[in-house]
Amino acid sequence: MQHAAVNRSKRNISALLDVRPETATVVNGTETKTISPDDVNVGDIVEVKVGERVPLDGVLINERGSFNTAALTGESVPRTILEGEEVLAGMIATDSVIRLKVTKPFGQSALARILEMVQEATDRKSPAEQFIRKFARIYTPIVVGLAVLIVLGPWLYSFLNPAFAFQWYDWIYRGLVFLVISCPCALVISIPLGYFGGIGAASRQGILFKGSNYLDAITKVNTVVMDKTGTLTQGVFTVQKISSVSMTDDELLKTVAAVETQSTHPIAKAIVTYATGQNMKLPKPKNVKEIAGHGLEANVGKNDVLVGNARLLDKFEISYPKELLEIAETIVLCAVDKSYAGYILVADAPKEDAAQAIVSLRDLDVKNIVMLSGYKQAIVTKLAGELGIEQAYGDLLPEDKVEHVEKLKENPSNIVAFVGDGINDAPVLTLSDVGIAMGGLGSDVAIETADVILQTDQPGKIATAIKLARATRRIVIQNVTFAFGVKVIVLILGAGGLANLWEAVFADVGVSLLAILNAVRILRMKV
């Protein structure tokens, strides 16, 4: 039973991790060669056909591609990746043949790192596991000594009291019954199995614990500190609003996007991507001139167009509604023939489950929720209001985030979990009681530093991780209480000769079996 339970938990982890292909198709000019992924070099071009798994991490060469990321993130919805964006080993190409330029050796792929972290997790034991191991080392010689005393004590007493009828068979039988009852198998087996089951159940949800000690630690978390970009938001600029004055919204978008094709700025790319996604055919701008710190000047068709910030329009003495200056998000203003034409609002949108994640945490009595960000305070405050976060701090450097967490930890009652994804979050992840990193969008440094990895990049998984950990701990406590209680009772009865061998077998094997069955429940648990 124990073996089956362990194997099932291992299968849950393997289903998430063991998706590495055995071969890779390397493209060299017009020729292709199939080789082992271990033999592929950084910089090589790899081709992946529809239905095949990506063998190594790389950047997409195709204009776009659709991928099944379930093996890495647990998400069944295909993910669209654009040219130049990262493709991870283990993803499956779903709609077309794609090519990518390898950026990491096979052994350093995201998938390989995750597998290594899971394998190392078994070496990081929870306090309960550590205690039971120490307990077993002390407990075993004591009960063996007591079993010997149960036999030898009455034998020696028979020399002092000749009236006492000592029977070797009876007392050896009692000693053996005592030994069978006192076997710590139920405790030694059920506790690590319970935690291993919890790690396996979490992996099914796209949550990777680096050790059972972190599974245990997260049960006590009452304060959650979150980064903004990439954690609560999608981490990419997208067009949120188009507001036109002298033309239609589509005409404004087409005009602005045409000019922004000549810029490499992330905001410009976001607008162009949005426009091309609307199947717009963009006109080619002429006489494009960049005005540093302001924006672009160009000719689109027969019109003189200005695209940029408010300072650009001020420079050319073009009037516009001054209330636009009060908008916290990034806006791109447009003027056509020296007349204000409208603006496009670009922002980092919240993740779909961000608001619900905050509600779920509060339902778990995590009342102290804080957001820290390097973005402008106005943007951070607005997002916090939308998500229901009462404490939000912006304009922070990495050292400022550390300072905020240190202040929280000054109160010994605060057990702090920090959730982040960037390199700048690594110091805070290390400082917190439990560090949680976004595994999909997160940087290598953040993932390596964190104690828990959320492969789905969903903030809602924080509550899921806490629920699974608390359920695992409840099962472990149930097993310890039940096993210890039964053994103490039957041990007393056995020492007094009131328990027979069958009752002893139940106290050992029977209790172990029941404890294992109880531990297995965590694998079926839905949260």
Contacts of residue 292, Cβ cutoff 8 Å, sequence gap at least 6 = none
pLDDT at 4 over 60: no
Helix 377-387 and helix 354-363: axis angle, to 10°?
60
Instruction: Name which of 36-50, 192-206, 271-285, 326-340 the model is least confident about.
Output: 192-206
Compute, in degrees rounded to 10, the torsion defined by CA atoms 94, 99, 101, 106. 50
pLDDT at residue number 10 = 47
Round to whole Å and give the CA distance between 365 and 385.
Answer: 20
**CATH number of the domain residue 47 falls in:** 2.70.150.10
Count the domains in the chain.
4
Say whether both 249 and 389 belong to one domain: no
CB neighbours of residue 250 within 10 Å: 13
The per-residue pLDDT for 123 is 47
Model confidence at 499: pLDDT above 80: no
Is a pLDDT exceeding 90 seen at residue 244? yes
Q: Is residue 171 part of a domain?
A: yes
CATH number of the domain that residue 318 is part of: 3.40.1110.10
Who wins on pLDDT, 447 or 37? 37
How confident is residue 121, by pLDDT bands cut at 50, 70 and 90?
A: very low
With bands split at pLDDT 50, 70 and 90, how would you rate the model's confidence at 47? very high
Domain match, 329 and 271 both: yes
- For residues 228 and 246, membership in a common domain is answered with no
Residue % of the chain over a pLDDT of 90: 30
Q: Pick the most confident of 128-142, 163-177, 370-384.
A: 370-384
Does one domain contain both 258 and 311?
A: yes
- Residue 371's pLDDT is 94
Packed helices 185-204 and 2-17: angle between N→C axes, nearest 10 degrees: 20
| Residue 265 is assigned to a structural domain of this protein | yes
Q: What are phi and psi of 53, to 5 degrees?
A: -90, 145
Tens of pLDDT along 321-374?
999 988 878 899 999 999 999 999 988 888 889 999 999 999 999 989 999 987
Q: Is the predicted pLDDT of residue 17 greater than 50, yes or no? A: no
447 pLDDT band (50/70/90 cuts)?
confident
| Assigned domain for 341 exists | yes
Name the domain boundary from 317, 349, 381: 349
Residues 436 and 481 in one domain: no
- Residue 151 has what pLDDT? 79
Confidence (pTM)? 0.63
Q: Which pLDDT value is given to residue 6?
A: 45
The angle subtended at Cα 54 by Cα 19 and Cα 23, nearest 5°, is 75
Residue 26 CA: distances (Å) to CA of 31, 33, 169 = 8, 5, 76
59/188 same-domain check: no
Answer left, alpha or beta for residue 474, where phi above 0 means left and psi between -120 and 50 means alpha: alpha
Q: In this structure, is residue 114 part of a structural domain? A: no
What residue has token string 């990439």? 230
pLDDT tops 90 at residue 464: yes
**148-152 mean pLDDT:** 81
- 338: containing domain: 236-349
Of the ranges 3-17, 424-438, 512-526, which one carries the lowest mean pLDDT score?
A: 3-17
- Within this chain, do residues 184 and 333 fall inside the same structural domain, yes or no? no
Residue 74 has pLDDT above 50, yes or no: no
Look at residue 133 and tell me if it is in a domain: yes
The residues, ordered by sequence, that sit 6+ positions from 421 with a Cβ below 8 Å of its Cβ are 227, 229, 230, 231, 235, 437, 438, 441, 442, 443, 446, 457
Please report which confidence band the pLDDT of residue 78 belongs to, taking 50, 70 and 90 as the band edges. low
Residue 188 pLDDT: 72
Report the chain's mean pLDDT, rounded to a whole number: 81
Query: According to the model, what pLDDT value does residue 224 have?
Result: 95
- The tokens of 127 are what? 């306090």
- Identify the pLDDT of residue 461: 93
Q: What is the pLDDT of residue 2?
A: 44
| pLDDT over 70 at 34, yes or no | yes
Q: What is the mean pLDDT of residues 249-267?
A: 90
Q: Does residue 218 sit in the same domain as residue 86?
A: no
Asked if residue 115 belongs to a domain, the reply is no
Which among 349, 356, 348, 347 is positioned nearest to 459, based on CA atoms? 356
What confidence category does residue 61 fall into, taking pLDDT thresholds of 50, 70 and 90?
A: very high
Tell which of 332, 349, 366 closes a domain.
Answer: 349
| Residue type present at position 374 | G
Tell me which of 54, 74, 105 is where a domain ends. Answer: 105
Does residue 411 sit within a domain?
yes
pLDDT digits (tens, 9 = 90+) for 392-429: 998 887 778 888 988 998 998 999 999 987 656 777 88
How far is 391 from 514, CA to CA, in rounded Å? 46
The verdict on 39 and 187 lying in the same domain is: no
Question: Residue 430: how many CB atoms within 10 A of its CB?
Answer: 13
Residues recognised as catalytic: 227
Please give the radius of gyration of the chain, using alpha carbons only, rounded to the nearest integer: 32
Residue 121 lies in a domain: no
Say yes or no: 51 and 190 in one domain: no
What is the per-residue pLDDT for 423? Answer: 58
Question: Where residue 397 sits, what CATH number does that domain have?
Answer: 3.40.50.1000
**For 168-177, 208-217, 268-277, which range has the lowest pLDDT when averaged over its residues?**
168-177
Query: Is 252 in the same domain as 332?
Result: yes
pLDDT of res. 124: 46
Mean pLDDT across the stretch 485-505? Answer: 72
pLDDT at 136: 63
Residues 328 and 362 in one domain: no
Question: 3-state SS string over 310-379?
Answer: HHHHHHCCCCCCHHHHHCCCEEEEEEECCEEEEEEEEEEEECCCHHHHHHHHHHCCCCEEEEECCCCHHH
